[in-house]
Amino acid sequence: MTVPPRLADIAAHAGVSEATVSRVLNGKPGVAADTRQAVLTALDALGYERPARLRRQRAGLIGLIIPELANPIFPTFAQVIENALAVAGYTAVLCTQAPGGITEDDYTELLLERDVAGIIFVNGMHADAHSDRTRYTRLIDRSLPIVLVNGHRPDIPAPSISNDDVAALEITVAHLASLGHRRIGLALGQDRYVTSIRRAEGFRRAMARHPRTADLAGTVVNTLFTIEGGYAAAQQLLDQGCTAICAGNDIMALGVIRAIRQRRLRAPQDVSVVGYDDSLLTAYLDPPLTTIRQPVREMGLAAVSSLLDEISGIKTPRTELLYRPELVVRRSTAPAPPATIPSP
């Protein structure tokens, strides 16, 4: 027969009040995550069985919330994470979003109803620098393990896994500058997203290192992370005489190439194009796309590892874990047109 836990013993072991222990055991809010974990650790150390509501591991379910599937990078993340969870004995409950469809908050509520052991958010609302952080802190206050992938927010105390967007644009600009390009443009999605903010920062920082680059004013254009967004941004950048355009993702790069061809220009002979993500089929485009490769496998495995540690009661660092990207050079970049290369 299971011996009911004595609040006084648990409180003494955890260094908290009996009232705090009672709130944790009854799943009440208002207890800091560190304090809640100390109570659960004391419960385990004293040999008491956790109440059913706190034994989330039994469900074997992990929530995985990703954006829409139109961008191939997100299905790739989902596949890596799902496979890693399956190896660990968990089943991913995949939640994909679409414009006008179920929101991230609605999915979160559905996952809580299914008593998931934790949730991984890939490019979620946390990536919006203006979004309300309380949607995540309330999960943390409930002692639900969560991990955030891409779009780090220092005001959300959860493990965070990110691609190094600043380094990505520094690598890209260095490549284009080495080919003689001086007027380089950047086509990005909405400027409220952390990924856009960081990529613009990396772009400007890299351009400043090359003294022959053109005036930076207006060379960053924010639209949408879509083909249409890439097309619209490219129109502005081409009007400014850019001979190279960096796109916010591979989907935007398709729109950039469409805009170039509509003007009867050629890629890369007249305008070089660099994508972002190295998603499926980029090697088979015309021309094959030079792009930034996110280390999706490594990032996905790190996200799963961090979440499983949290579920096991092992607290992982609340700092951001940055992964360095790689520039994959294909045939969409070439030396700048001779007329645009200044004489020594």
Summarize pLDDT for 302-341 with one digit per residue, the tens: 999 999 999 888 888 888 999 999 999 999 999 999 875 4
Give the 3-state secondary structure of residue 167. helix
Contact present, 164 and 157 (Cβ < 8 Å):
no
pLDDT of res. 344: 40
Q: Using an 8 Å Cβ cutoff, are 125 and 189 in contact?
A: no
3-state SS, residue 2: coil
Domain assignment present for 237? yes
Look at residue 144 in the predicted model and tell me its pLDDT: 94
Q: Taking all residues of the chain, what is their mean pLDDT, rounded to a whole number?
A: 89
Asked if residue 288 and residue 171 are part of one domain, the reply reads yes
pLDDT of res. 231? 98
Supply the pLDDT for residue 54.
Answer: 62
User: Structure tokens of 105?
Assistant: 């908050």
Percent residues over pLDDT 90 in the chain: 69
Q: Is the pLDDT of residue 187 over 90?
A: yes
- Tell me, yes or no, whether 269 and 280 share the same domain: yes
How large is the average pLDDT for residues 199-222?
82
Strands 91-96 and 61-66, bridge-based pairing = parallel
Domain region containing 34: 7-54
Residue 55 has pLDDT above 60, yes or no: no
So what's the pLDDT on residue 44?
75
Q: Decide if 2 is inside a domain.
A: no
Let me know whether 282 and 316 are in one domain: no
Same-domain check for residues 289 and 176: yes
Q: How many structural domains are present in the chain? A: 3
User: Is residue 1 situated within a structural domain?
Assistant: no
- Looking at the fold, whether 47 and 64 belong to one and the same domain comes out as no
> Is 97 found in the same domain as 153?
yes
- Do you find a cis peptide bond into 154, omega within 30 degrees of 0? no
What type of residue sits at position 173? V
Smallest CA-to-CA distance from 96 within 116, 115, 73, 117 is with: 73
Domain CATH number, residue 30: 1.10.260.40
Inside any domain, residue 25 = yes
Provide CB contacts within 8 A for 282, sequence distance 6+.
Answer: 250, 275, 288, 289, 291, 328, 330
Q: Edge to edge, what strands does the sheet with 220-222 contain?
A: 220-222, 184-188, 244-247, 272-277, 290-293, 326-328
Distance between CA atoms of 276 and 230, rounded to whole angstroms? 12
Q: What is the CATH number of the domain that holds 269?
A: 3.40.50.2300
Q: Is the pLDDT of residue 239 over 60?
A: yes
Closest CA to 168 of 52, 248, 243: 248
Residues 247 and 334 in one domain: yes
pLDDT of 269 > 70? The answer is yes
Residues 133 and 193 in one domain: no
pLDDT at 206 over 80: yes
Same domain for 50 and 119: no
Q: Are 202 and 335 part of one and the same domain?
A: yes
If asked whether residues 208 and 284 sit together in one domain, one would say yes
Half-sphere exposure of 44 (CA within 13 A, CB side): 10
The residue-averaged pLDDT of 199-221 equals: 82
Please give the pLDDT value at position 41: 79
Question: What pTM was estimated for this model as a whole?
Answer: 0.80
Instruction: List own/partner pairs for 96-99 with CB under 8 A and 24 or more apart.
Output: 96/66, 96/67, 96/68, 96/69, 97/65, 97/66, 97/67, 97/68, 98/68, 99/68
Place of tokens 């995985």: 64
121 SS3 class = strand
> Would the pLDDT of 343 be above 70?
no
Claim to verify: residue 95 and residue 225 sit in the same structural domain: no
